């Protein structure tokens, strides 16, 4: 596991702050890990102190603690912008989805919020935050 803290996190190209209790969010993290051969992403569950410190250090108007966050190069992205930053950095055809950036953010975020609001009902919720597999532990700032 990487040393938790804001300074260590700043050196990483993409920091993904995700809901560690959400089964859908955990699936997204596993999806990214399988494709991220260059190890450009590190993850931190939102329930951790590291995530709180990162979100405080990178405030976003209307960011909200229930949103997916990506901090790239010290700049925070939330909701659909965060998701688009992720697909943009994945290998293969995934960056083509970045074309949705042409849609106005409020419109994109309507769909994001609809999924986010129903994620526990649709995909379930765990009682404990995600614990990474031992071989992936160094990809998490805190677990």
DSSP states of 17-34: EE-TTBHHHHHHHHHHHH
> What is the chain's mean pLDDT, rounded?
88
Q: Is the pLDDT of residue 119 over 90?
A: yes
Helix (H) or strand (E) holding 80: helix 79-89
Helix (H) or strand (E) holding 121: helix 105-123
Output the pLDDT for position 135: 84
**pLDDT tens column, 4-62:** 444 444 445 899 999 999 999 999 999 999 999 999 999 999 999 999 999 999 988 76
Output the pLDDT for position 10: 44
CATH class of 6-139: alpha beta
Give the whole-angstrom CA distance, residue 81 versus residue 139: 22
User: For a pLDDT cut of 90, what percent of the chain falls above it?
Assistant: 71
Q: What are the extents of the domains in the chain?
A: 6-139
Positive or negative, the Cα torsion across 73, 78, 83, 84? Answer: negative
Output the pLDDT for position 63: 67
Alpha carbon of residue 42 to chain centroid: 9
């Amino acid at each position: 596991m990487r040393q938790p803290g804001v300074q260590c996190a700043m050196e990483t190209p993409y920091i993904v702050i995700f809901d560690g209790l959400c089964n859908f969010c955990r699936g997204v993290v596993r999806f990214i890990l399988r494709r991220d051969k260059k190890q450009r992403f590190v993850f931190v569950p939102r329930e951790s102190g590291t995530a709180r410190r990162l979100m405080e250090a990178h405030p976003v108007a209307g960011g909200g603690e229930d949103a997916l966050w990506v901090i790239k190069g010290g700049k925070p992205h939330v909701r659909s912008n965060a998701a688009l930053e992720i697909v943009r950095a994945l290998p293969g055809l995934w960056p083509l989805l970045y074309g949705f950036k042409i849609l106005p953010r409020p419109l994109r975020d309507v769909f994001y919020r609809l999924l986010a609001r129903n994620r526990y009902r649709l995909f379930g919720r765990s009682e404990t935050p995600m614990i990474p597999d031992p071989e992936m532990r160094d990809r998490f700032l805190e677990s």
